[in-house]
Structure 1
Amino acid sequence: MRRLIPPARPAAALAAGLLAVLSLSACSGAVRVEPPKPEGPAAAGCQKLATALPNRLDGVERVESDPPSPYVAVWGAGEIALRCGVERPASMAATDQATDLDGVTWYQDPQLPALFTAINRAAYVEVTISGKHVPGDVMVDLAGPIKSSIPE
């Protein structure tokens, strides 16, 4: 199995993970995603977010992740993957621009155009979006659950 998002944040490792073809576990049909390990308010917000996320996102159904985690959500065959409670993006500088979509501020990693992180909240929420989807549509659809679950 290959990981969609490796546990470490170096750009080279992330690029390799993002470019890898996802595979489904033969026995469970789950998509392999390494879960983060948030603590305190971040963990509480992420657990609340887990119950607020949609079963269908941008036309694809939610599927199981491997290992199962309240901090991970996957739609399609790994077309969209969310990890809640990740570390602050290592590539994000104070001078970087971010985009506000429906009340949630998103940072896009300039080296990894498929990787977006909701910032300025008690927990960072990382979303990887395949080229099959329009990132803005996905981020707007996730804004409501993020706003209602994770305080600024």
Structure 2
Amino acid sequence: MELTRRQTFTNWPIPSVVNPDQLAASGFFHLRLKDHVQCVFCQGIVGFWETGDIPDVEHRRHFPKCPFVTRAHATGNVPIPSPDATGVEGDRWTNGLPPLNTANTRLATFTHWPQEDVGVSGEELAWAGFFSRVWLTGFNAFTVAERLLGMGLAQESVKEALRDELK
């Protein structure tokens, strides 16, 4: 459970370098040895974090075959619910959006995704928590660009993809 992993970061030594919430959401728990974390699913260990490191990207880079990285839904992971995910009463959609809390639901929004042009598949984006703007008008282009660049996509590819999406 993500909440259990998050609780291991109570004395996280470098919160200004890497956010412990992001580490827990990426499948890691703190080993309480310097800044070393371990994935509960593949037992991979990462340490020596630097400013700008993104836990999901580092997890995928070091342990590409980790079951959490390849298909987080199949691991039985229980994520911490987002405070705005359920709305005030707990059963209403936030901002009028249907629930996009599963990768399969998000994947369904990528039916016309230009994978060849962008260089990343809709499936990869869905597993990373994204959904396609083609399905829903209006999105924060800066946030999307920042995350795609953080995933290692070339700046020119990100610019082209966003330019096409904003037309």
Q: Structure 1-normalised TM-score? A: 0.30
* Larger Rg over CA atoms: 2
Higher strand share: 1
Q: Structure 2-normalised TM-score? A: 0.28
Larger relative contact order, structure 1 or 2 (CA cutoff 8 Å, min sep 6): 1
